[in-house]
């Protein structure tokens, strides 16, 4: 039997109230204001203090609770959600990195705190270049039309910075190791770049940094030294198999990041000079900088791309 409604029904001259509407949850496409990177870096620094207090093996559960809570705070979540992975994907990736991490004093991330710092700060690279295609294979690095071979420029003295390739074979590595022991001031202790290719804008950035460093550093300081350029996701996996904390994805696999030597310049009294130059560029919004110990990771910001492309064309003629 149908129960009669007690509602009085529509009343003459009375407009029924509109049903309440839920405000939609903002998505990445809805956000017109770019995340505040200063607030993000500050929040990451504060988080690292708490992570450091929970660095023990027995604190795994507490560390996960901490990350679950802090990564959702707006200052951090806004950046993570603006990456291709999104907030949840970034969280899961970070937890996996923490689970597989093996402490190594020689690595760029010798402990869990350093790993969290490098991981979270590298998300800025991925937020900036989320639409850039990943260089998945070594062949793509060698053949990509947007990457140029630095050797052609080096032979014509068009580079203000230095680099060296990885030696081929055991003999080559042995010779380099011997030379490093005999003349340590000649070059930093680095394996060398696996690929000598990068984007034109990166060449302009490195030349610009090299000129500023040469003007500011003490006399007889060697030129800016680059230890890593563009490389493939395939190469990142090789590094991970060797135990290195190589992030995936990485700004290197997008072609927009490089690593520069820092620690070696301490013997010339120039380390802090170079650090100040890089941090000033970051403050100006031109790059993202990550302290990885002996080297610093530098990723170009999209806002500086057009200026540096013009600088490259003016300097190189193409």
Q: What does residue 295 show for φ and ψ, rounded to 5 degrees?
A: -120, 160
| Separation of alpha carbons 176 and 132, rounded Å | 36
- Residue 198 neighbours by CB under 8 Å, 6+ apart: 147, 148, 150, 229, 230, 255, 258
| Separation of alpha carbons 213 and 226, rounded Å | 13
- Residue 240 neighbours by CB under 8 Å, 6+ apart: 246, 248
Q: What does residue 289 show for φ and ψ, rounded to 5 degrees?
A: -120, 135
Each of the 318 residues of the chain gets a pLDDT tens digit; together they read: 444 444 444 444 444 444 444 334 344 444 557 899 999 999 999 999 999 888 766 778 888 899 999 999 999 999 999 999 999 999 999 998 888 776 665 555 558 899 999 999 999 999 999 999 999 999 999 999 999 999 999 999 999 999 998 666 555 445 445 565 665 666 788 878 889 999 999 999 999 999 999 999 999 999 999 999 999 999 998 888 877 767 888 999 999 999 999 999 999 999 999 999 999 999 999 999 999 999 999 999 999 999 999 999 999 876
- What's this model's pTM, rounded to 2 decimal places? 0.83
Q: What are the structural domain ranges in the chain?
A: 33-128, 138-316
- Residue 196 neighbours by CB under 8 Å, 6+ apart: 149, 150, 151, 163, 165, 229
Quickly list DSSP for 156-173: TT--SSB--BPPPHHHHH
């Amino acid at each position: 039997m149908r129960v009669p409604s007690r509602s009085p029904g529509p009343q003459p001259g009375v407009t029924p109230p509109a049903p309440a509407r839920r405000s939609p949850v903002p998505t990445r496409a809805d956000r017109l204001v770019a995340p505040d990177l200063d607030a993000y870096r500050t929040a990451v620094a504060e988080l690292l203090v708490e992570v450091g207090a929970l660095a023990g093996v027995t604190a795994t559960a507490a560390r996960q609770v901490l990350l679950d809570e802090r990564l959702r705070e707006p200052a951090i979540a806004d950046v993570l959600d603006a990456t291709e992975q999104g907030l949840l994907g970034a969280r899961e990736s970070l937890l996996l990195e923490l689970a597989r991490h093996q402490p190594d004093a020689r690595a760029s991330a010798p402990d869990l705190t350093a790993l969290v710092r490098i991981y979270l700060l590298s998300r800025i690279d991925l937020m900036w270049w989320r639409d850039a295609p990943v260089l998945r294979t070594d062949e793509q690095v060698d053949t990509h039309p947007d990457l140029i071979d630095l050797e052609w420029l080096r032979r014509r003295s068009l580079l203000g910075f230095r680099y060296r390739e990885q030696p081929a074979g055991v003999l080559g590595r042995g010779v380099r190791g011997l030379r490093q022991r005999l003349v340590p001031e000649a070059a930093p202790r680095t394996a060398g770049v696996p690929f000598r290719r990068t984007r034109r804008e990166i060449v302009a950035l490195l030349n610009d940094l090299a000129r500023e460093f040469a003007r500011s550093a003490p006399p007889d300081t060697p030129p800016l030294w680059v230890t890593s350029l563009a490389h493939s996701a395939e190469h990142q996996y090789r590094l991970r198999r060797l135990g290195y904390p190589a992030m995936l994805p990485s700004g290197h696999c997008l072609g927009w990041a490089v690593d520069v030597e820092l620690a070696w310049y301490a013997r010339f009294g120039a380390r802090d000079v170079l650090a100040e130059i890089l941090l000033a560029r970051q403050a100006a919004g031109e790059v993202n900088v990550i302290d990885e110990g002996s080297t610093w990771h530098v990723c170009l910001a999209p806002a500086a791309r057009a200026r540096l492309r013009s600088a490259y064309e003016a300097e190189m003629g193409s």
